[in-house]
């Protein structure tokens, strides 16, 4: 199996025992015709995700577990997955079945066509969101659409963590996120600042039916807003520089 055509799927988990078996089955089925690996990234040995995987009689051979020793939390779990991933394309998705794995091959294809980041986009034509708290849905949509309008970043959905990244981009980019899912926005903004390609494919996000979400809006909102401002300030500096050049 050539690593130049390997898709690494990184799944951060925290007690996702009720969901993980169905999740890895669906990811494996979606990528059955494509070289891939599925990295389940966990923080501690008592996580019930591990027991569920141990009890899984039809566990795909492409599944690997990755112990996150970088620090507790979703951001560190994803970073541990990035370090362990062997593919030229790395995709992050959640274990709660909110993201459709059937979209992953299209995301990987866009990366191999030259994009550094590919968003699974709920807010572009063909995408949609089903369920979830109204406030969270509204703020996410507003953030994505206004950031696109203010900066020109080529995605309608800047906050979704269903993302594909090129290995080359990840290897060349320092990740600063320490807490949670703001990591996706950080990497999207940094790819745009670096002048790298950003693309998107339509996706349908579906609210979880089992387990408990670890997303905490009030806790993580300032972290998202930080990277939102980084992008807006960079756009303003670019416009100011162009204005000076034209005078």
First CA to last CA distance, the chain = 56
Q: What is the pLDDT of residue 1?
A: 39
Residue 118 backbone phi and psi in degrees, to 5:
-125, 120
Residues in contact with 17: Cβ distance below 8 Å, sequence separation at least 6, in sequence order: 48, 49, 51, 52
In a domain, 110, yes or no: yes
With a cut of 50, say whether residue 12 has pLDDT above it. Answer: yes
How are strands ordered across the β-sheet holding 36-42?
63-67, 36-42, 7-12, 89-92, 163-166, 115-121, 197-202
Buried (b) or exposed (e) across 233-242, using 16+ Cβ within 10 A? Answer: eebeeeeeee
Please report, for the domain that includes residue 78, its CATH number. 3.90.550.10
**pLDDT tens sequence across 147-189:** 999 999 999 999 899 999 999 999 999 999 988 889 999 999 9
In a domain, 247, yes or no: no
Q: Residue 98 is part of which domain span? A: 3-239
Q: How far apart are CA 82 and CA 76, in angstroms?
A: 10
In a domain, 204, yes or no: yes
Q: What is the pTM of this model?
A: 0.90
In a domain, 244, yes or no: no
Q: What is the pLDDT of residue 140?
A: 85
- Closest to 198 in 3D by CA, of 122, 141, 139, 121: 121
Query: What's the CA dihedral at 73, 79, 82, 83 to 10 degrees?
Result: -110
Count up the domains in the chain and report the number. Answer: 1
């Amino acid at each position: 199996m050539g690593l130049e055509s390997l898709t690494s799927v990184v799944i951060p988990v925290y007690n996702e025992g009720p969901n993980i078996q169905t999740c890895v089955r669906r990811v494996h089925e979606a990528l059955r015709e494509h070289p891939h690996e599925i990295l389940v990234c966990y923080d501690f040995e008592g996580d019930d995700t591990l027991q569920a995987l141990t009890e899984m009689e039809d566990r795909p051979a492409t599944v690997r577990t990755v112990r996150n020793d970088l620090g507790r939390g979703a951001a560190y779990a994803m970073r541990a997955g990035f370090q362990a991933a062997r593919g030229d394309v790395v995709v992050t998705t959640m274990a709660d079945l909110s993201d459709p794995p059937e979209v992953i091959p299209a995301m990987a294809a866009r990366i191999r066509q030259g994009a550094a980041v590919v968003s699974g986009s709920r807010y572009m034509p063909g995408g949609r969101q089903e369920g979830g708290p109204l406030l969270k849905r509204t703020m996410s949509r507003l953030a994505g659409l206004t950031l696109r309008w203010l900066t020109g970043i080529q995605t309608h959905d800047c906050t979704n963590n269903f993302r594909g990244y090129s290995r080359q981009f990840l290897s060349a980019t320092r990740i600063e996120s320490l807490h949670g899912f703001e990591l996706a926005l950080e990497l999207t903004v940094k790819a745009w600042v670096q002048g790298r390609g950003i693309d998107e494919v339509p996706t349908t996000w579906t609210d979880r039916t089992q387990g408990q979400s670890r997303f905490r809006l009030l806790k993580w909102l300032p972290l998202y807003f930080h990277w939102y401002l980084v992008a807006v300030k960079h756009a303003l500096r670019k416009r100011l520089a162009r204005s000076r050049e034209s005078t």
